[in-house]
Structure 1
Amino acid sequence: MLESRPGDAFQLGELLNNTYRIEALLGRGGTSDVYRARSEISGRLMALKVLKAEFTGNDDYLALLTREEAIREIRHDAVIRYSECNRTQDGHVYLLMDYVEGPGLDKKLKQGPMPADDLLTICRRVAGGLEAAHARQIVHRDLSPDNIILKDGDPSRAVIIDFGIAKDTNPGAETIVGNEFAGKYAYAAPEQLDGRTDARSDIYALGALLLANFRGKPPDVGRNPMEVVQRKGQPLDTSGLPEPLKTLIDRMTAPDPKDRFQSATEVLRYLDGTEGADATIIVPKPQQAAASPAPPPRRSRRGLYAGLAVVLLAAAGAGGYVSGALDPLLGPRLPVADPYTLVVDKPESGPPRAVGHVPDAALQSTLASLMADRSGSADLTLARGAIAPSWGADVLETIGQLDDLAEWSLTLSGNRGDATGWTSDRALQERLMAALSSDLPGALEGRAEIAYRPAFLAAAALAPALQALEDCGPLTLKDAPATGYGPDTAVTVTGRVAETATRVRLFDALREIAGARDIVLDVEVLNPTLCLIESHLPQAPASAIDVVFTVGDRDEPNPSGRFFVGENPVIDVVLPPDVTDGFLTVSILDVSGNVFHLLPNLNREDNSVAALRDGRQGEVRIRVAYDLQEAAENGGLAFRVDDSTLGKSKVIVLHSAEPLFDGLRPTAESASGYAQALQEFAGRNAASLLSLDSRILVTATP
């Protein structure tokens, strides 16, 4: 873990968008930093990649981060799962992904050589993830040891991260030789130096990093551009490697892409010993003919699936083909697949696909035909594994039940599976949930999550939920469509709430109404004290008066306004050049329900702007909360954060033409007393109030 700095995008303990609590800074990169965060709604750990401030206005970097978010369509255990790409109120763009605990291969590389068996296991796992990514036409382009994490240190649970990482892909000295890129180009395929990249480039990179981890050091790419280009045209040195690792890496890292394995599927077949077998069917989009027969009615498919399932059961000999009992009749046993995976899905827009393992040619042909009927594709490998005798029939029955949905996915690992999807047909959703919510068909273990999404949801349908949970002012639907929310339209709510529990209840209430639509709560969580004051503050415009924070112990600027236990918050009010008269009233409302008056108070009674400026022109800083040493010398107010009152406090700056109150308020008073005094002033002399500005100060444990 790294130490946070005052200039970092997020500080430890900060609550991002009122959902994700920042727990640790995991790493710093050239264009982004990565944090560990925990959802305060679900408790789930997440990794959070935030684009550095200087890149947030660059459309190229934003596009790359958005591209990385699109990787969430890949469903494979070896590929990091992405959640959302979002922007905070102060402009930071971040990407959420699953948090994976374990060492990266870069750390293992520094520790020395790895065993060949572990590297073969990693190769099988990562190649499976690349197979799923390449099926989606997504090429990693930057595969290297730091982009593969061994979950819990287990080679069989390797996970690929950092798809779409922002980088300069143009050839040239800065890209090839610069310190930031030298390590990456140790693993880049030769064609990448010419700006050409395809799936075979990922295969080269995987082979190169396997070699590096076997040797315990990265390949030497040279010290200048000429050496880099020359060495990239030569085969990697695999002398001394044991078989089959040597041949595997040789064929993955051939300098000419035509001489390499042409796909991740070919790598897997080599590892399984089935290279050259006719085990894969790719179904192209069929050509339309003038006399094409009309497609059968949708409702007739279920009978077709049932009939095919019976045929498959008969062909499988009640599991004999998978178990090997029929080997004397049917020929050699199939290779073992572990894990035994199959993914069949149908996107809302786009062709369906089936990718993974099947136990027999009958199911392989059936799924390929089903995909071809819908202009989709099938990439299916014959294999045996730990599956039930009725597995194929159960898969077809599940697909038959899901196929009327607008979008669906079935993901299987052995007999265990998950089915998801959605429909705007309430009766269909209820029927499928009744049939599949407790268990999938036959011997398949798992359940379905089928969501109901009305075609359009009126904004008025959400209003009662918002009104019922307003505990800190109005909650508002942002940019609510006049025609209602479509299935893919996010519901965005703005406003304030008094506590995190209210935010959670709001999310649950909206989810109940909005179904599977995205819900974005752009809602600030305050506390009951701040909400009380918010409801009693007089109406006044904001101004250019600013509030700035400093860590008194270290005299360091603290733009985040977050202070940890033991630190000494120093507060300055910055007057712009044009604020030269009137009176300044500064108070801080803390989380315990108390108000401390920083200006005026018994130690500093004169709060006129003229006295505070003391003849100074231009921008002037007025210190209202001191560091401890200053306070000891001048008797001013100073604070040190303890763990008894952690949370959000609010600094309020009121600029008025006349003194705000009759006489001095006590240095500290209750929030309710202060709120009543504000209301009385507003009722008597509202026109005297020139501006109202505020800043949130957060106290937290490190």
Structure 2
Amino acid sequence: MTEPHPGDAFQPGDVLNNTYRIEALLGRGGTSDVYRARSEISGRLVAIKVLKAEFATNDDYLVLMTREEEIREIRHDAIVRYSENHRTSDGLVYLLMDYIDGPGLDRKLKDGPMSAEDLLTVCKRVGEGLQAAHARSIVHRDLSPDNIILRDDDPAQAVVIDFGIAKDTNPGAETIVGNEFAGKYAYAAPEQLSGNTDARSDIYSLGALLLANFRGKSPDVGANPMEVVQKKSDPLDTSGVPEPLKSLLDRMTAPDPNDRFQTMSDVLAFIDSGGAEEALDDATIIAPPPKTDVIAEAPSPPRPANPTPADKSVQKQSSGISSGLIVAGAAVVLIGGGAAAFFGGVFGGGGPTYPAVSPYSLVIENLENLPASASGFVPSADMQNALVTRMTEIGGATDLTLASGEIADSWSNDVLAVLDDISTLDDWQLTLNGNRAKITGSTSDPAVLTALTARYPETWPGALDGTIEVALTSLFLDPGDVDNILAQYADCGPVFQIGNPGPVGYGPDDPVVVKGTLAGEASREALQTALEDQTDGRDVIIDADILNPTLCLVENYLPEAPEGEMEITFRDGASGQEVPFGDFVVGQNPVIDVIIPDDVFTGYLSVSVLDVSGNVFHLVPNIGRADNSINTLRDGRDGAVPLRVAFSLDEERPDGGIAFAVDGSSLGKSKILVLHSDAPLFREMRPTTESAVGYAEALSERAATGDQLIRSLDTRILTTSQP
């Protein structure tokens, strides 16, 4: 934890948005600070990142904060889950995210070296998360030990918690050797010093921070800009690192991006293989001729954009005249052959030559609840047109760039053949980096899965190679999956399914109906979205009461008990007419009756009103009506007995009887609670009126005793509004 200062944006105890109470300052950054806070409604811990006041009106930083919020589209356990941005009444902008409890790798770095085994586990976990980010064209750009946390101190539960809001764009930002940036640039890839960043930069940074944690000390970044640039051009020192971690780090942190692993998929494949050496590619390596004297040197052929190992600088050779003539003749043949090949279309197929790119990437996807798309590089207009046609047929879009690269001549046909094979999946994604491919998707048809796995990954079309991950899904939706979602979004008491989905779950046309209580419309919308994302197009109906923070606070402390048969009715005190929906306006006098069922003769009845203003009124028992046994309340009457708990202003009422009228000072929803228990709910009489917080604490203390005395809990909402 970091000690708070008087000038900090928030102080411990502050409450944001009437919901999140600040508990501690977790850390300070160049542009933002991070706090731990707890929801006063659900009790859930969250992390809150707040832009410092001087940046809160800067459009550059607001754009960065918005982009960070959009990371919530990445659904992976290794990427922190973001919520949304908010602005306080005095203009401070903050971002909500999950709170991850555990040490950061920066803390582990200070504690000393980590084992190679643990670091390989961290690399695999973080690599899988970054793979998901890169698939959405999101590059972290700022990986360092301080933004990777080990949940519960478990390397297998590493989580990336920060996606680059601290990357300054202002001209006045500190240089790479400034106080704030020295630690960051210790892990930055060399190309980032000149402003170039892609997925390979994340690979470098991850490798560099893993090496630092293996050694137990931060890298030496240099004392001035020239030293930084020089050190970044040198390979990192991995001497003493055991295999396969050494080879992994060497390949991840090569100074030249082209010499690194090109994708996180390649990193993960290396780890999964246990560090097995990759097969040599098809490039031909030509051995140099014997050294001879050169009398006349022929001009060297033009160097290609991406030289192969055979394209090393030509060394002067010294021996005899005849050898010199042979070398010169060979050069002439190469130049002539190159020109003939170019003009004859051997290299370019007779067509235009497009700019070379690396890595040569293409992502084509048709995912559930997202529009189909194809984005990346293609080698020809024919391939571009073919993908545009296919995406149009399934209602998708394209963002394709013509480019050349290190791909096989048959690449276009090979990719289209894979698309033909995977089009039978319910949803799918094809990711390509050069000739390396990955298929992910799902199907509810076992025959489709069998057919695909019989071919892939052993036999890819043409020159392609790669992996396949296809899941078999059911036509039926498991109610347990719905319960898991409801548990995540229940922020104001229980939320539950109603109806009978059948013995095998929800069928394809069955609606999912949910009841319960939620803290607000935002909670309802978030739950609706989460359920729709997971219920495969089924109708989702949320029939939940939207409560206020006071009601939610108590709701989370109410004992778990089944609904009983205690009926709660409302009437207008002036007219005596029933108010079936419990809606009253300013000036009306609500009358409340609880109907004791005809078969209930034992136990105790407790009736309270949780008022919209934050108070709790105890109707039964209270000081004037202390005896709340069912026997006493029945007063010798048989059958269903109405018990008046809130009276008309005009009628005579017993000691302790409460009557009230609606005024305009506090309008909204109040909740009537009726608890039927085997013994008195509390050992001491509660005051007639108390705060919701006090009542919640009393319920919590009672629950801690472990007594299973609650038979049932019945509730009803009373709503007040302007006429």
Range into which the TM-score falls when normalised by the shorter chain: 0.3 to 0.5
Pick 1 or 2: higher relative contact order, CA cutoff 8 A, min separation 6: 1
